[in-house]
Structure 1
Amino acid sequence: MESITTGWHWQVISLCGIALWIMISSKLKVTQKLRSCTQPWIYQRVISGTAIIIKIQKYQHRCLDAFCSGLSCIVSVPFYTAFLPLLFWTGHCKLARQMTLLMAFCDYTGNCIKDVVSAPRPRSPPVRRVTATKDEEDNAMEYGLPSSHTLITVCLSGYLLHYILDYTESNDLSIRVAGIILASLVVGLIGFGRIYLGMHSLIDIIGGLALGLGILAVWFSVSEYIDNFVVSGQNVVSFWAALCFLLLFAYPTPEVPTPSFEYHTAFNGVSFGIVIGIHLTFHQFHHEDVARVFSPQLTLPAFVRRLLLGIPTILLVKFCSKALAKWILPIISNTLGIPVRSTSYIPTLNGTDKKSDVLKQSGYLQKMFSKQTSFDVDTGIRLLQYAGLAWSVVDLVPSMFFHIGL
């Protein structure tokens, strides 16, 4: 573990490995070849699974619609984006940073597979698709395999259970079994709900479950190494900045543009901001001896005051970081002679290059080796916006708590 936190050789090797993969996969068209091998088989499973969805939806009821839609909102990316900052401020800092990085890893891996395979969701009609929120409407624009809701639920509920059992030092077998049963029930309800809402086929749920269990097993093996590196490693900020940059280019190009790359970019920025803030302020605000909610040092009223101060602050930082990025990135690009365009954030940079419009969400992989005339500056704006938001959660806001005695 010491070599992970003090050595730099593995950092150079890993970054060079990703860069080499970007070049090789682009030249050999790895994404297209994988898609041609997997998509027909998945497509047949989606078609054959339509009958199962229709049978389940025969029992449709408005209460069941509301229940399944509510479950989907509870485990959605916007929910966790709001929930994780609160977790940092409760004093359970290790749990918060582990779950944040784990979710970023799940989001990247799941969306990469979605866009590599480019497998369709169940066709509607004949399937009845229920999209009760704007977030669900955006989700419906993504590809289906694997189910992100199932994947994220498996990983986060599994890690949360592991943390609770470790934190309480419970060795009672009945408690462990009850925890596993409860987590399995939540995962099962989420999977059933995604099928009932017409958002996923059975193969998508199975894929999300299998991938989630695999990622969770890997995370249990490497989480302590990653945590020690973030907390006390060398070259943490520079390494993570390079990693975030390369991951943008390593993202695969989907068959048709979807919002998946935008979601990844946002969580890429979140992970970067969290890592920077934790690394710089760990000994001040995020060590294991900080006050935790419901303790005499952090009572419930004090925690509520933290929320009243913290939430407006991070929203203000999110707005300011977006405005600053919109102003400074075009200036830097022009100074460096890099042609840029904006598809949504800066109307004056909205070009008419048809090829660029088609490549709006290409994961930057194709952008590196294509002859397109400009880069979408919105990616950088989104990355910096969410990095600023995450940094404020773990650095700026805890500093405010400290100075006013919360």
Structure 2
Amino acid sequence: MCPQHDAPLGEPRVSTSAAGAAAPQEPRLDAGMKHHDHYAQQLPPWRNALRQKLIPIVRWETPYLALLQEQVRTPALDSYFAYTANLGTHTFFMITLPILFWCGYTSVARATVHMLASGVFWSGFVKDMLCLPRPLSPPLYRITMSGSAALEYGFPSTHSTNAVSVALYAIQMLRSAPDQHHPNVYFALQLLFYFYAISIVLGRLYCGMHGFFDVVIGSFLGALLALCQLAFGDMFDFWLTGGTSLNLAVSVLVVLVLVRIHPEPADDCPCFDDSVAFAGVVIGIQVGAWHFSRTSFSTDYPIPSTVLFNLNEIGLVKTALRTVFGVVIIFLWRATMKPALLKTLPPMFRLLEQARLNLPRAFFLNASKYTIIPQLRGDDNVIPSASEVPQMLKNLAHPRKRSVSVGPQSAADAYETLAYRNRRRRESISSLDGAVPEEASWSPIAKGNEANSSGQVPLGADLLPTPIASRVHSYEHMMGSGGTTAPITPPMTAMDLPGDLVQSPLEAENEKRQIFMLLTKPRVRYDVEVVTKLIVYAGIAWLAVEGNPILFELCGLGMGVRR
């Protein structure tokens, strides 16, 4: 992992106040950020070269995505896709998966955890490795109920990965036992899972959160993970639960190594946080499954470490009570352990730092630079705190309270806006005299022109009918124009681009400042949060597969010990 370095332009720098708490300072321009290509400076050459090969795809597909939005957007679809996007998030699965464990569907639950953890990790791994932005806004509107989603890089789509992997696995499970359901139910369930996956994938395009490239590769990744689970999942479960503690140690070590090699992003992106959370879940699942399979509270059917459950024997009332009881225990664990760890871990991290044994990570503040950690609000994208649940339920009950934004929302958006402006400026200079100075920049063309400044049109636009091609051209003119957060259905207009054809260094820095001032500044993140998430989420997973099932039996909410 890279050592802590200065925050990029527009991101908060940290100082220690008199009270000892870390407080963000006003953003200022870094001396090393004058070059227009931020990613050439921050990434290793091979990663930047790969990124440069792929970034034209993002730029090419943006005006076509904007055309798609223009043609199909309605208030009803806005609400539908903003609302249903929650069904593809980690939060939705993390809330529902414990219930599957408690109701005896251990095989399905464990397979889903493996696919989701792999999907979140590997999609986040690629996101942080390539640092590809989401399609540009404007011209796209971004429709979401989660402000944190826009802070991540775009490629590949984690929503698509999750939805496709879960849907394909569920469909294959149905097809493996067609006689268990009535033919009409069998057909309806398959149709439901197909619709679920397609709806989530198309919704990412409709909401302007991803491009075609993002969802296609994300879907392929999800399909690959589903196939791996179907081929090797049961084999791994029997290897783990039937083996010695060495098998368990190996599986945990592999997870920790994967966390250790997760690429450093060029911007303050939360992908790593989600990967760490699901790494903790996998560790907790493995530890709990290995130990629970050796107790008298579990059964080996259909796989070892399955919770004893029969709805006819337990009844609906007991089932509801154990579900509520289990969820409360999980939230109590999170509410007590997280602040306790954030308080007790910093002194240990300072000792490790003094001994040069710490593993600092970019955008995380080292323990030697702060004395206390203030209460962190809205800091978890996987499982929220109990105090946030009422507001989340209120938002779900009123899906029209969605966010529709125009303009850059993350550092990746801002840098892509600046990079696209520079590219267009170079094209303008090239069209004037054939020279393309590396540091040259582009000035805006008049709104309504049908070709860009170099006389070119977007690839493929000349094959479209004239009115549609004209709209594609106009959307291409909006790209890189910046923007501001807007209410639902704001007017789609391009902002004037500042600067002459060739900018002075001061003008370039002022342009950067103007773009970054549109962003919501990310909060300070602390080094101890990584280990805190690993422990908290490992505990949540352990409670789901072992702790709570044993408590159910001890409290009279189970089926009794049977061997």
TM-score if structure 2 supplies the norm length? 0.57
Query: How far apart are 1:257 and its partner, in Å?
Result: 2.6
* Matches of 1:285 and 1:328, distance apart in 2: 35
Q: Deviations over 1:165-216 (max 9, x none)?
A: 4466559999777655443322221111111111001111111111111222
Superposition RMSD on alpha carbons, in Å? Answer: 2.8
Unaligned segments of structure 1, at least 5 residues: 1-30, 351-374
* Matches of 2:350 and 2:270, distance apart in 1: 27
Structure with bigger helix share is 1
Q: Give the match for residue 53 of structure 2.
A: 41
Query: How far apart are 1:344 and its partner, in Å?
Result: 10
Q: Deviations over 1:267-292 (max 9, x none)?
A: 10111111111111125236327544
Give SS of 1:130's match. Answer: strand
Any conservation in 2 of the 1:319–1:385 contact (CA below 8 Å)?
A: no
Q: Give the match for residue 256 of structure 1.
A: 267
**Which residue, 310, 313, 325 being the options, matches 1:309?**
325
Give SS of 1:299's match. Answer: helix
Q: Give the match for residue 223 of structure 2.
A: 213
Any conservation in 1 of the 2:157–2:210 contact (CA below 8 Å)?
A: yes
**Which residue, 157, 168, 172 being the options, matches 1:158?**
168
Residues 34 and 147 from structure 1, CA distance in 2 versus in 1: closer, same or farther, beyond 3 angstroms?
Answer: farther
Q: Give the match for residue 554 of structure 2.
A: 403
Query: Are 1:117 and 2:110 counterparts?
Result: no
Residues 404 and 265 from structure 1, CA distance in 2 versus in 1: closer, same or farther, beyond 3 angstroms?
Answer: same
TM-score if structure 1 supplies the norm length? 0.78
User: How does 1:44-55 map onto structure 2 within 5 Å?
Assistant: 44-55=56-67
Residues 333 and 38 from structure 1, CA distance in 2 versus in 1: closer, same or farther, beyond 3 angstroms?
Answer: closer
User: How does 1:338-353 map onto structure 2 within 5 Å?
Assistant: 338=355, 343=365, 348=371
Amino acid corresponding to residue 39 of structure 1 in structure 2 = R
User: How does 1:139-178 map onto structure 2 within 5 Å?
Assistant: 139-166=149-176, 169=179
Residues 37 and 335 from structure 1, CA distance in 2 versus in 1: closer, same or farther, beyond 3 angstroms?
Answer: closer
Q: Deviations over 1:46-67 (max 9, x none)?
A: 1221222212212322211110
Q: Give the match for residue 4 of structure 2.
A: none
Residues 332 and 233 from structure 1, CA distance in 2 versus in 1: closer, same or farther, beyond 3 angstroms?
Answer: farther
* Matches of 1:330 and 1:157, distance apart in 2: 42
Residues 34 and 227 from structure 1, CA distance in 2 versus in 1: closer, same or farther, beyond 3 angstroms?
Answer: farther
Any conservation in 1 of the 2:126–2:155 contact (CA below 8 Å)?
A: yes
Pick which of 44-53 and 270-279 moved more: 44-53
User: How does 1:7-26 map onto structure 2 within 5 Å?
Assistant: none
Residues 43 and 312 from structure 1, CA distance in 2 versus in 1: closer, same or farther, beyond 3 angstroms?
Answer: same
User: How does 1:4-403 map onto structure 2 within 5 Å?
Assistant: 32-58=44-70, 59-132=72-145, 136-166=146-176, 169=179, 180-234=190-244, 235-283=246-294, 284-285=297-298, 287-288=300-301, 290-292=307-309, 295-334=311-350, 336=352, 337-338=354-355, 343=365, 348=371, 376-403=527-554
Q: Deviations over 1:219-278 (max 9, x none)?
A: 222112211123222224422332232112110122223000000001101111111111
* Matches of 1:331 and 1:344, distance apart in 2: 11
Amino acid corresponding to residue 206 of structure 2 in structure 1 = Y
Pick which of 167-176 and 76-85 moved more: 167-176
Query: How far apart are 1:311 and its partner, in Å?
Result: 0.8
Q: Deviations over 1:81-112 (max 9, x none)?
A: 11111111111111111211221111111111
Residues 211 and 230 from structure 1, CA distance in 2 versus in 1: closer, same or farther, beyond 3 angstroms?
Answer: same
* Matches of 1:128 and 1:121, distance apart in 2: 12
Pick which of 65-74 and 221-230 moved more: 221-230
- Name the % identity: 25
Q: Deviations over 1:279-334 (max 9, x none)?
A: 111252363275445x3123222210111211111111122222342344334445
Query: How far apart are 1:164 and its partner, in Å?
Result: 3.7
Amino acid corresponding to residue 283 of structure 2 in structure 1 = F
* Matches of 2:218 and 2:156, distance apart in 1: 5
Any conservation in 1 of the 2:178–2:186 contact (CA below 8 Å)?
A: no
Amino acid corresponding to residue 254 of structure 1 in structure 2 = P
Which structure has the bigger radius of gyration?
A: 2
Give SS of 1:378's match. Answer: helix
Residues 299 and 173 from structure 1, CA distance in 2 versus in 1: closer, same or farther, beyond 3 angstroms?
Answer: closer
Aligned residues: 348
Residues 308 and 168 from structure 1, CA distance in 2 versus in 1: closer, same or farther, beyond 3 angstroms?
Answer: farther
Query: How far apart are 1:33 and its partner, in Å?
Result: 4.9
Amino acid corresponding to residue 63 of structure 2 in structure 1 = A
Residues 285 and 39 from structure 1, CA distance in 2 versus in 1: closer, same or farther, beyond 3 angstroms?
Answer: same
Give SS of 2:371's match. Answer: helix
Higher relative contact order (CA 8 A, sep 6+): 2
* Matches of 2:264 and 2:351, distance apart in 1: 29
Query: How far apart are 1:404 and its partner, in Å?
Result: 1.9
Give SS of 2:334's match. Answer: helix
Any conservation in 1 of the 2:343–2:372 contact (CA below 8 Å)?
A: no
Amino acid corresponding to residue 402 of structure 1 in structure 2 = E
* Matches of 1:237 and 1:266, distance apart in 2: 19
Pick which of 195-204 and 341-350 moved more: 341-350
Query: How far apart are 1:146 and its partner, in Å?
Result: 0.9
Any conservation in 2 of the 1:344–1:378 contact (CA below 8 Å)?
A: no
Pick which of 252-261 and 193-202 moved more: 252-261
Residues 171 and 78 from structure 1, CA distance in 2 versus in 1: closer, same or farther, beyond 3 angstroms?
Answer: closer
